[in-house]
Structure formats: structure tokens, C-alpha cells
Amino acid sequence: MFLAIGLISSSTLQACKSDDNDPKPHEPAPLQLQVITASPEGFQVNSTLITGEKDAVLIDAQFTISDADKLVKIIQDTKKNLTTIYITHSHADHYFGLVQLKKAFPNAKIVALAATVADIQKKWKDQLAQWQPLFGDGITANPIIPDVLTGTTLTLENETFQITGGLQGDEAGNSYVWIPSLKAVVCGDTNYNGVFPWTIETTPEQRKGWISTINTIAALKPALVVAGHKNPTAKDDAASLDLTKGYLAFYDSVLPTATSSADFQTKIKAQYPNLQLPIILQLAADAAF
């Protein structure tokens, strides 16, 4: 179904506040943020690694075993101590890879909001039944369920990241993470960047709520915006919020006028010829007609 391209890509981003390359000895070095994007067969899902002087926090944990193994290697190469892995929402492509991460970093806490943990407990068997026929041994047969996070913050050295949950994105229980010193927002699947958004699980009404979520994130005026999935060459900036918002509005303006799944896909692709992973659009279109 998917091209088995063993590509995983990453980009490192850093908010530079001054031209001074030598941080003052009494000031902690700025945090660094790295986006690691899966292969197409792993739905180009993003993991975000934030590193301080010694420690690191990871947001989302990949889907396939091979993409998770590549992520493990990237984290090991940083030589940082991975303290925490946070999962943004209940979709399998964001947490099935935890198995490989837990093996490599047994001391890292694996956490999600209580509602996300409850969703995963409810859904993981169905998710496995959905994906195992397609991926076989390429995904875990025994997914790890995160522990419930106490509170709504993550800590990395001297900094606190704020989590906002209960948001409509590509499912109802999405969350995003705000990293103040970088003015960065890690969106989970409230935002997509250069790939077709996963619309199959939302109604037109819910997609209006999804647009409201995007407006809330845009109001933070973020300097860095990490989508849940992306084209590996796309920039992690606020243009992705406009892209997702525009796509959802266009999608629902065309849906009532389309005559078939094929007609709907043709109309969407005419407006968005460069988005990747057309299988995502196809699945949603086939379900709608």
C-alpha cells in the first residue's frame, strides 16, 4: 500500500536571541529542538526532541519499528539523558513505536494526559486489528500504554512546558505543547504540514472545531510550529497553520458538491497538488461516498 522508502529525516532548530555564540557562563544554553520525520510508510509522523544541557524530552514516539529504531539512534547520538516521552493523542502512529524507545531508554517516563491514556486503553486492540494486516511485524503486537501525567506540564531542566489538551484536531482528544523559551508549539495532529490531513474521523461540524483549535494556536504567535505529520522538506513555521485551516475549509466547501469519491479527490488535488500521502485523502473520500 505504501512505498517502502526507508527514509527518516530530521532538522534541528534553535531560537537565536543574540549574535553572541558564547553563552554567558551563568546562563543555561538555549534549548534545542529537533524534528524527526518518519518514512512515508510510517505516515511521515513527526517526533520532536527537545534537548537542554544534559537532559532531553521527546514528544511522540513514531509508529513502525524501523522508524522508532532510527529515532532511538538519533536520541542516543545526542548523548543526552532522555527523561520523559510525552504522547499527544491516542492515534497508533504516535505511540506504537514506544516499545523500541522503552527498550533503549528504560528510565524515561512515558506519559500522556489522562483522557489520552483512557482513549488508548479503549482503542489499542482495534488499532492493532486495523494496522497489523498491512504492516505485519513492521509494527509492535504489544503496544505500550503511557502512564497518566500528573498535572499539565512537562519539565526540562529549568524550563516548564505547558500542555493544552481536550482539543479537536484529527480526533477529539488532541493536545499541543508550548515551549516558552523557543516560542515553539508542538501541535500533535491539530496541524499538518505538506501532507494530506487525516479527516476520516471527523464530521464537518468537528472540522469547524478543528479550525478553532488552529486559531487558538496561531494566537500564541509561535516562532516554531511542529505539525503532527509533514513533508520532510517543509519549514516548521506558522504557514502550516494557515495551510491546514485553508485545507479544512476548502474540503468542506467541496464535499457537498462532489459526485463521487474520485470526483472529490480530483477537486481537492486540483487545489492542493503538492500535498503528500494521497492515500489519506483516498481513505477519507472512499468513506464519505
By the 8 A CB rule, do 74 and 82 touch?
no
* Least spacing, CB of residue 257 vs Zn ion, in Å: 28
Nearer to Zn ion, 70 or 91 (CB): 91
* Residue 229 amino acid letter: H
CA distance 132 to 96: 11
* Least spacing, CB of residue 13 vs Zn ion, in Å: 20
* Least spacing, CB of residue 238 vs Zn ion, in Å: 20
Nearer to Zn ion, 62 or 83 (CB): 62
Nearer to Zn ion, 159 or 189 (CB): 189
Type and span of the H or E element at 109: strand 109-112
Cell digits of residue 36: 524527526
* Least spacing, CB of residue 189 vs Zn ion, in Å: 4
Nearer to Zn ion, 91 or 207 (CB): 91
Nearer to Zn ion, 31 or 120 (CB): 120
Burial class (CB in 10 A: 0-12, 13-18, 19+), 188: buried
Cell digits of residue 106: 528504560
* Least spacing, CB of residue 32 vs Zn ion, in Å: 24
Hey, how many other C-beta atoms are within 10 angstroms of the C-beta on 177?
A: 25
* Least spacing, CB of residue 119 vs Zn ion, in Å: 13
Residues that bind Zn ion (CB under 5 A): 91, 93, 189, 228
> What torsion, rounded to 10 degrees, do the Cα atoms 267, 280, 198, 43 define?
-140
Q: How far is CA 235 from CA 58, 171, 230, in A?
A: 20, 24, 9
Conformational region of residue 157, where left means phi above 0, alpha means psi within -120 to 50, and beta covers everything else? left
Nearer to Zn ion, 211 or 258 (CB): 211
By the 8 A CB rule, do 193 and 157 touch?
no
